[in-house]
Amino acid sequence: AQSVAQPEDQVNVAEGNPLTVKCTYSVSGNPYLFWYVQYPNRGLQFLLKYITGDNLVKGSYGFEAEFNKSQTSFHLKKPSALVSDSALYFCAVRVKNAGNNRKLIWGLGTSLAVNP
Amino acid sequence: GAVVSQHPSWVICKSGTSVKIECRSLDFQATTMFWYRQFPKQSLMLMATSNEGSKATYEQGVEKDKFLINHASLTLSTLTVTSAHPEDSSFYICSARFSDTQYFGPGTRLTVL
């Protein structure tokens, strides 16, 4: 079955330290992978995506993610965390359903807390 | 670019009434829009995929007669929750696809009394 896993419900990191939010996936074919961030009571904001090309993808707000095909992972990273990065982060992978429509399958989300 | 708006941002209604939520792509045309539901501290649940000019495709377990979706133009999709009940209270989020990426609206908080 096609799925996305975010193994950590919560990640805590001190401000200024590097952060990693993990994501692994299981899909057939070449994956289209996405990271989104959600602030309280808000919709999701697109951070970055991997479709093809360089395995290291750079996105908004200084975030980046590395596509690792052998480990089927797409971990989100930032060299130096800010308190304002505290939010809920979702990993998603694009799949096609039975009607050949493209849709996203979502991880359960990881709550990132950056401590001052 | 790629901005999606939703209206209203929050709504409170009485049980048995219907509520309409609008989703607009402000600076791009969206052939495909999506409607999600999110419960507190949970991930997003896709309710339906809305294609302009055709019937929406509903996910398994979502009642199409209760959650009416209309996508009459390339910039507007609407979700109508018919005969709303307290269990329909939730955070509803729409998204629109542009260049292989889904862009999300700010969400609508629905509370049914």
B1-20: pLDDT as tens digits: 789 999 999 999 999 999 99
Which residues lie closer than 8 Å to B101 by C-beta, 6 or more apart? A34, A46, A49, B2
* Residue of chain A whose alpha carbon sits nearest to that of B103: A46
Q: How confident is the model at residue A97 (pLDDT cuts 50, 70, 90)?
A: low
Q: How confident is the model at residue A102 (pLDDT cuts 50, 70, 90)?
A: confident
Q: How confident is the model at residue A95 (pLDDT cuts 50, 70, 90)?
A: confident
Structure tokens at B85: 């009940």
- CB contacts of B107 in chain A (<8 Å) are 41-43
Do A35 and A76 meet the contact criterion of CB atoms below 8 Å apart? yes
Interface of B with A (CB under 8 A): 2, 4, 6, 32, 34, 42-44, 46, 49, 57, 91, 93, 95, 97, 100-107, 109
Tell if the CB–CB gap between B44 and A106 is shorter than 8 Å: yes
Tell me which amino acid residue B63 is.
Answer: E
Tell if the CB–CB gap between B104 and A90 is shorter than 8 Å: no
**d(C-alpha B85, C-alpha A88), whole Å:** 28
Q: How confident is the model at residue A40 (pLDDT cuts 50, 70, 90)?
A: confident
HEC assignment per residue over A9-44: CEEEEECCCCEEECCEEECCCCCEEEEEEECCCCCE
CA distance B91 to chain A (A): 8
